Chains A and B, each alone.
Chain A
Amino acid sequence: MTGFSENASAAEHATAIAEWESMLDAFRALGGEANNVLPRHGPWGRGLVSKDPAKPFVLRIPANLFFRVHDIEFARDAIRIGDAARVARNERNFFEQYQEKYSWGGGGKGEAERLVSMFDALPAGLRAILCADFAMQDLLEGDHAERTQRWFLKSRAINWQGGRGLVPLLDLANRGGDGFSWSSDQPGFIAIEGHAADEIRLNLGANDSVGVFRRFGIAVARPHAFSLPMTTKIGTGELAIERNLSAKAERGGFDVPEVRYVSGRIVLSQLMLGNASFPRAPRGIFDTLMRESGATGAADSFDRVLQLNRRKFLDLLEALEPLQGELIATLRSVAHFQLEALAHCVGTRAL
């Protein structure tokens, strides 16, 4: 990947282009389509750009190049497809060569290691807060190499056809609030296409600022905020809130959480607490679901959940106050963005 860096010589760049084109040939031979895309260091680090920003780009990846996370394994320094996986030889070879050259081996491992090391360098008190209040154990607990691998997969995998997997080329794209949404424009294909003036970025999905940080390690302002996982009271009963953003239903044009009843308590798969575009929606959704559940005390319960969320981010800011560093600054920004989004809860509405 050094041939695509800003410091590369003309000769290095020409070699890198030739190798990239060769990889794209192999990609196309396996059913993929890639026009006008190139890896390059952009403002967000390594990423994808349009070779000619004036022209549209296209990336279309077939299902046979969707490599499920549970089929992927790490052997020493290499990433590979496990022997038991039902992946054809050509695809398997392509995955391993592509990953070695452009993704895991092309800087992805180094980036993931760096982030995990930054987490390891945090003071014990802050690490404890991040585990207890923000469920960041996967970045903080366990073997360093395993956490690095897990982070790499988590930050680059996408959900498709009921599973999570890595998609060549797409996994090089950075994320941004204004990024492209991938779609299945043809059955059995994942695609993104359009005009990219600077960098080709993928969107952030439904994630709020804290979700974006946990998945991609970056601080980005988001228009909405979901509750952290917690258990609290509602009336005389108990309410458990999870943070499973993909477990949802649709009501009146809004995504609403799935409601379950477990051992006498109400369990919500997620709970939106603030939304800059629809500030009446968060309380409206909660009021509606609690009314339908027959629960009393919804207003107090929602206030309490909101209060606990705000407190946790303020406590995080307090813990970060005496510290300095790149990760500290990122965490502060995440807390600011989340508090900002949590503020957008005004009134209520019927769904």
Chain B
Amino acid sequence: MRRNAGVVMEQASPRPASHWQEMLDALCALGGAAQNIAPGKGAFGRGLVAVNPAEPVLLRIPQNLLVPVNDIECTDGRIGIAPSSTVGESERRFFEAYEETFSWGAGGRSESSVLVGSLDRLPAQVRELLIADFGFGDVLEGDIASRALTQFLRSRAAFWRQGFVIAPVLELANRSPEGLRYERGTHLQIQGYVRNEILIRYGNEDACSTFFRFGIAERQPAAFSLSMNLRCDAGEIVIRRNFNDAVMHGRERVPRTHGHGRALELSYLMLGHGKSPRMARGIFRTLMGEAGMNDADETFDQIVRINILKFVNLLKSLEPYEGEMIAKLRKMARYQLEAMTWCVGSRQLSAAARQ
């Protein structure tokens, strides 16, 4: 045990290879599949590696082992599944043992606690701003243990059907924009060749959400609007940050919308994209037009302005301070502003019917 600024740090207990194999055997017995996969350390720290990089990896987690995040609770420092959950008894036992041995109990809790502790040590003014303007309330307010759990689950959750789940073993893999894609069918899986570490591709993320989920500052090609409720000449626009709640519009993924006429709710809104700079305004124009709302360009500009001012204000509020977390926040704000600059012109989305 060692202490770090008030946060208890556990040494990850050594896990013999036999435990890992036993766990994989149990996973397979419950309908999963795992080939060529082992725990290991890569460029991003603890994660998963290919046993033999010359061979493809496969990891399949069946639906019965995908545990809804909302069903997970922490009792006496151990992760468990709430009694009210519909998860089966065998799956429940597997999940709890797996979490204690390989994930939450094997360093996951410490990592999340350290991150939450670092956020707690931010100056009060910065914390207030992060809560008010960036929706960081659930990692900055309340009991530190439950915040650590929230942070842990958020950083490892995968989107499955209508909500977020924890997929045992799969959740150990680190994330990268260049990683393997999730394959979603009757189960959640990844497969393919990797150089060494098994990385999973981000879904729709921007620099702000990457920081929020993983506590890292990383450039992303896209920037999405902060959540807001905007009353403007066009009417009322509600923007959320549910990046997974998308529909196809022709060949493009666009946010799901609700409302028509004087009110429109968007599940998220892209403001800039380094690879498709005409996309952001094009999507908004199209959705506003389909919702029968006017002044799309001016409304879009207003949303961009609000976003820019919030991130610049964050930069200004960080200015008097130094420290690792301060530097990360500065970097995150710059990356988000940078991605937002990639909004040049507009393009017409194909007129294909929305699915």
Give A residues with C-beta under 8 Å from B. 279-280, 299-300, 303-304, 306-307, 310-311, 314, 317-318, 321, 329, 332-333, 336, 339-340, 342-348
Contact = CB atoms under 8 A, between A and B. Distances in A.
A223 to B, nearest CB: 13
A345 B343 CA distance: 13
20 contacts: A279-B305, A300-B344, A303-B345, A307-B341, A307-B343, A310-B341, A311-B341, A314-B337, A317-B315, A318-B334, A333-B319, A336-B312, A336-B316, A339-B308, A340-B308, A343-B312, A347-B295, A347-B297, A347-B298, A348-B298
Contacts of A348: 297-298
Contacts of B301: 279, 345-347
B334 A310 contact: no
Contacts of B346: 299
A290 to B, nearest CB: 14
A303 B312 contact: no
B53 to A, nearest CB: 35
B305 A346 contact: yes
B243 interface: no
A279 B232 CA distance: 14
Nearest to A283: B301
> Main SS of the interface on chain A?
helix
A342 B301 CA distance: 12
B338 A343 contact: no
Contacts of B331: 321
B345 A343 contact: no
Contacts of A318: 334
> Main SS of the interface on chain B?
helix
Contacts of A314: 334, 337-338, 341
A321 to B, nearest CB: 7
Contacts of A344: 305
B297 A343 contact: no
Interface of B: 277, 295, 297-298, 301-302, 304-305, 308-309, 312, 315-316, 319, 327, 330-331, 334, 337-338, 340-346
B343 A336 contact: no
B312 A339 contact: yes
A332 B298 CA distance: 29
B331 to A, nearest CB: 7
B292 to A, nearest CB: 19
Contacts of B316: 333, 336
Contacts of B312: 336, 339-340, 343
Given A303-B345, A310-B337, A318-B334, A343 B308 contact: yes
A346 B302 contact: yes
A332 B333 CA distance: 14
Q: Would you list the 10 A-B pairs with minimal beta carbon distance, nearest first?
A: A347-B298, A343-B308, A300-B345, A346-B301, A303-B344, A310-B341, A307-B341, A343-B305, A340-B312, A339-B312
B342 A307 contact: yes
B96 to A, nearest CB: 44
Nearest to A346: B301
Contacts of A317: 315, 334
Given A314-B338, A336-B316, A345 B305 contact: yes
B343 A303 contact: yes
B13 to A, nearest CB: 38
Contact of A321 (B308, B330, B337): B330
A111 B164 CA distance: 60
Contact of B319 (A280, A306, A329): A329
A279 B299 CA distance: 12
Contact of A346 (B277, B298, B341, B344): B298
Contacts of A347: 295, 297-298, 301-302
Contacts of A280: 298
A344 B312 CA distance: 13
A261 B136 CA distance: 52
A234 to B, nearest CB: 12
Given A329-B319, A347-B295, 5 more contacts: A303-B344, A318-B334, A321-B327, A344-B305, A348-B297
A307 B309 CA distance: 16
A245 to B, nearest CB: 23
A345 B327 CA distance: 29
Contacts of A329: 319
A232 to B, nearest CB: 11
B248 to A, nearest CB: 27
A339 B295 CA distance: 24
A344 B301 CA distance: 9
A306 B308 CA distance: 13
A153 to B, nearest CB: 31
A332 B319 CA distance: 8
Contact of A339 (B277, B298, B319, B337): B337
A237 B21 CA distance: 66
A299 B345 contact: yes
A304 B342 CA distance: 9
A306 B315 CA distance: 20
Contacts of B343: 303, 307
Contact of A307 (B297, B302, B344): B344
Contacts of B334: 314, 317-318, 321
B255 to A, nearest CB: 21
Contacts of A343: 304-305, 308-309, 312
Nearest to A317: B334
Contacts of B304: 343
Which of B340, B342, B345 gathers most chain A CB within 10 Å?
Answer: B345
A117 B52 CA distance: 58
Nearest to B302: A346
A63 to B, nearest CB: 43
A344 to B, nearest CB: 6
Contacts of A339: 308, 312, 337
